[in-house]
Amino acid sequence: MDKIKNILICGAGLMGKNIAYVMAGKPEYIVTLYDSKDQDPREGIRKSTRELVEKGIITSDEVEDRLKRVHFTTDLDHQAVKNADIVIEAVFEDIEVKRELFKNLEERCSAKTIFCTNSSVMSPSDISRNLKYRGRFVGTHFWNPAHLIPLVEIIKSDATTDDVAQTMMDIFQSVGKKPVLCKKDVPGFIANRMQHALWREAIYIVEEGIADAKTVDDAVKYSFGLRLPQLAPLENADMVGLDLTYNIHKTVLNDLCDSHEPSPLLAKLKDEGKLGFKSGEGFQKWSKDEQEKLYSDLNKYLIKMIYDK
C-alpha cells in the first residue's frame, strides 16, 4: 500500500465529525469532510471534545492543531475527492444513498483508493454490489461517540482483499483505536450481535413479568456489567470452567428467549408512541434533566475508563 495521506470523510454528521477528529490525530493526515449540507464542522468537533479538554486529556491548542488539518467541502469535484487515499463514508443509513455516493466516488477517485463504510447494520457486500473494484471496499464500524469508544470493527465483504482489511486495521491502530477483524459479513457484525442478544433477553424478562425495566438494568449494572471491561464472556467462561459453563447452558438455554422477531412488548410500546428519550417515555419515563444527566454521566464514565481521569 502506498503512503496514506489524504482522508476523505463523507457525511459530516454526528459520526463523521468525530471520526474526522480521530483521523486528524495523526499529523501526516489531511482530513476533508464532504457533506451535501454546507456547515462548519469544526464547531461540532470543539463541542464534542470539550470534556476531554476540561479533564486535561488534550489541550485546546492540540484540538485547534488537529482542526487545522480538517477541511470541509460540499463539492464532490473538489481536489480532495480526486486525491483521497481513503474514503470513510458516514452519510444517512440508506442503502441507495450510500450506493449512489460510492458510484460517484468511483468515477472520481483513483482505482487504489480504499472505500470504507461506517454503516451500523448494512452489509458492505450489498452496499458495494455494483462497484467496479470491490476488493478495496470494506466495512469500518465506529461506535458512538467515535472520539471516545476505542472499538472499530473492520468487516470484510464477500470481496474485500486481505490487504485492504489489514491496511485499515493498521491505520486505525495508528490513530489510537482498537480495530478488530470481522471475517464474515454478517448482520450486527461482532459486537452488536452480542449486544442485541442481551437486549432481546432483557426485554423478554420484562415481558414475562420476571422483573421490571429498572430492575433488569440494575441487575446488569451491579453484577456482570461492572466486570465486563475486565472480564469478557469467553475469558469468564474459561475462568469458571467450560464444564461448568456447559452445565449452566444445559439448564438455562432452553428457557431463554430465542425469538427471531422483535418482541411484542417492544412493538406495543413503539406503536403507542413510547419511543424512549425522544418521546419522554420508553421502558421507563425520562425527563429532559434525567436524559441530560445520563449523557453527561456516560461521557464522564467513558473518559474515566479510557483515560483514567
Ligand X SMILES: NC(=O)c1ccc[n+]([C@@H]2O[C@H](COP(=O)([O-])OP(=O)(O)OC[C@H]3O[C@@H](n4cnc5c(N)ncnc54)[C@H](O)[C@@H]3O)[C@@H](O)[C@H]2O)c1
Contacts with ligand X, 1-20, as mask; x by CB under 6 A:
---------xxxxxxx----
153 is catalytic: yes
Considering only residues 50 to 109 of the shown chain, the ones binding ligand X according to CB under 6 A are 90-93, 97, 101
Out of 192, 236, 263, 299, the active site residue is 192
Contacts with ligand X, 25-54, as mask; x by CB under 6 A:
---------xxxx-----------------
CB atoms within 10 A of CB 140: 27
**178-206 burial, b if ≥16 CB within 10 A, otherwise e?**
ebbebeebeebbbebeeeeeeebebbbbb
- In 3D space, the residue among 77, 97, 109 whose CA is nearest the CA of residue 6 turns out to be 109
Strand order in the sheet with 178-182: 70-73, 30-34, 6-10, 86-89, 114-117, 137-142, 151-156, 178-182
Out of 123, 125, 153, 157, the active site residue is 153
Q: Give whichever of 113 and 206 is closer to ligand X, judged by the CB atom.
A: 113
Out of 104, 120, 174, 263, the active site residue is 120
Q: Give whichever of 131 and 219 is closer to ligand X, judged by the CB atom.
A: 131
125 is catalytic: no
Asked whether position 167 contacts ligand X by CB under 6 A, the answer is: no
Which residue type does 121 have? V
78 is catalytic: no
User: Which residues lie near ligand X (CB under 6 A)?
Assistant: 10-16, 34-37, 90-93, 97, 101, 118-120, 142-144
